[in-house]
Amino acid sequence: MSATIHSIEAILVDIPTIRPHKLSMTTMGVQSMVIVRIKDSEGLEGLGEATTIGGLSYGPESPESIKLTIDTYFKPQLIGQLADNINTLRVMLERSTRGNRLAKSAIETALWDLYGKRTGRSLSALLGGAVHSHLPVLWTLASGDTTQDIHEALGFIETRRHCDFKLKIGSRALMEDIRHVAAIKEAVGDTASVRVDVNQAWDESTAAKGMAELQAAGIDLVEQPTPMADLASLVRLSEKFHLPILADEAVANAKDLYHLAALGFSGAVAMKIAKAGGPLRALEQAAVASAAGIGLYGGTLLEGTIGTTAALHAWSTCEKLHWGTEMFGPLLMKDDIVIQPLNFHNNGVDLPTGPGLGIEIDEEKLAFYRRKD
């Protein structure tokens, strides 16, 4: 008989960032995450993570609400269930609880990690096998200071840690943002790809003007320029410009992407295991994108190493990642809570080997950064 779920713990963890991280809706100085630990009746443990951006400034789930959901609603349903029945448990939570995709993703990740440890297989192997053992990773330049961002970018190019960069814009006047972006693109030249993330800050007319300027400046990609619910504007803008659009907040799962593609959208999609509700749902979205001719991009909610590693295992199974990944979350934080951090080098990151996620908790670091009641 398979092992059953014996205990579930959801832990709030706060780790300072290496510098203020400026987005259109907030500026982050600390990243807060929920670490999930699921133990089975034979003593094995699976790890998961749910992380959002800036508390409730980004979406409807906060670290505190995620912990509450897991403790109050998920835990009573899961205790005593067969730990290996991941699809059964996933469907059960989907039927009993609306939304709460970040919390569900953390639970699913922990179950996969547990199953991988039980069978001695990596998460990527359980998902069909890795096509890539080293994945490209861009860096977000988000200090808001042009000179500092240029210095940061040139340093990473020289050390070959990153050769693709994303700029967070949308909180300032349009032309001020354009000048900031154009100066950075001019400084790095053809040695690096420069993209922008507007985080829904523009209306359609502003986006049209902004995209024309960005296209002229040599920018490669514009992420979510208009509000998430305004799918028609994304379609019209994608038809008007040869500068590709990356749909992010507008697309959470495969069904959302199907609707956007059916409207005529061409461009790319930012997959995120958290907003999809787990690795399986994220890969369903990848399948729809591939069928519709929409490019793939491995997105992040600035997760720590646990959540980042889960996403890397999923992205590694995709045949082609047209725009690479942005799985740099652990690099944004001053410290880590795992024993062996991810290996970032050669403009990307190595996929961890070993059973499950292939990582282990550093108990002392976890205790230090754990939020005190």
| 148 vs 22, more confident | 148
- Cα 239 to Cα 166, 222, 263, 267, 330, distances in angstroms: 23, 14, 11, 10, 36
Indicate the pLDDT class of residue 4, thresholds 50, 70 and 90: very high
Q: Name beta bridge partners: 245.
A: 222
Report the percentage of the chain scoring pLDDT > 70: 99
Judge whether residue 224 has pLDDT over 60.
yes
Q: Where are the beta strands (DSSP E) in 70-115?
A: none
The pLDDT of residue 19: 84
Indicate the pLDDT class of residue 369, thresholds 50, 70 and 90: very high
Indicate the pLDDT class of residue 304, thresholds 50, 70 and 90: very high
CATH topology of domain 5-120+361-369: Enolase-like; domain 1 (3.30.390)
- Cα 190 to Cα 157, 164, 186, 223, distances in angstroms: 11, 11, 9, 20
Judge whether residue 364 has pLDDT over 70.
yes
State the average pLDDT over residues 34-54. 96
For the chain, the domains span 5-120+361-369, 126-350
The answer to whether residues 138 and 165 touch, using CB atoms and an 8 Å cutoff, is yes
- Give the tens place of pLDDT for each residue, 234-293: 999 999 999 999 999 999 999 999 999 999 999 999 999 999 999 999 999 999 999 999
Judge whether residue 209 has pLDDT over 80.
yes
The pLDDT of residue 354: 95
Nearest to 105 by CA among 84, 90, 126: 90
Residues 6+ apart with CB under 8 A from 144: 20, 22
Q: Measured on CA atoms in the order 367, 31, 159, 300, is the torsion positive or negative?
A: positive
Indicate the pLDDT class of residue 171, thresholds 50, 70 and 90: confident
Indicate the pLDDT class of residue 353, thresholds 50, 70 and 90: very high
CATH 3.20.20.120 describes domain 126-350:
yes
User: Measured between alpha carbons, how far is 63 from 50 in angstroms, rounded to an integer?
Assistant: 7
User: Measured between alpha carbons, how far is 190 from 194 in angstroms, rounded to an integer?
Assistant: 9
Judge whether residue 1 has pLDDT over 60.
no
In the residue annotation, 168 being an active-site residue is answered as: yes
Which one of 49, 152, 249, 326 is the catalytic residue?
326
Per-position b or e across 220-250, b if 16+ CB within 10 A of its CB: bbbbbbbbbebbebbbbbbeebebbbbbbbb
- Give the tens place of pLDDT for each residue, 63-89: 999 999 999 999 999 999 999 999 999
- Give the tens place of pLDDT for each residue, 102-148: 999 999 999 999 999 999 999 999 999 999 999 999 999 988 899 99
Neighbours of 125 (CB within 10 A): 17
- Cα 86 to Cα 24, 96, 108, 274, 277, distances in angstroms: 37, 15, 7, 16, 13
Mean pLDDT of the chain, nearest integer: 95
Residues 6+ apart with CB under 8 A from 294: 257, 261, 265, 266, 267, 268, 269, 288
Q: Name beta bridge partners: 12.
A: 34
Which one of 22, 168, 185, 275 is the catalytic residue?
168
Judge whether residue 5 has pLDDT over 80.
yes
Report the percentage of the chain scoring pLDDT > 90: 91
The pLDDT of residue 250: 95
Judge whether residue 25 has pLDDT over 80.
no
- Cα 94 to Cα 212, 271, 344, distances in angstroms: 42, 20, 35
Indicate the pLDDT class of residue 95, thresholds 50, 70 and 90: very high
Q: In terms of DSSP bridges, do strands 344-345 and 348-350 run parallel, antiparallel, or are they unpaired?
A: antiparallel
The pLDDT of residue 162: 96
Q: Name beta bridge partners: 338.
A: 361
Nearest to 360 by CA among 294, 309, 284: 309
The pLDDT of residue 24: 63
The pLDDT of residue 57: 76
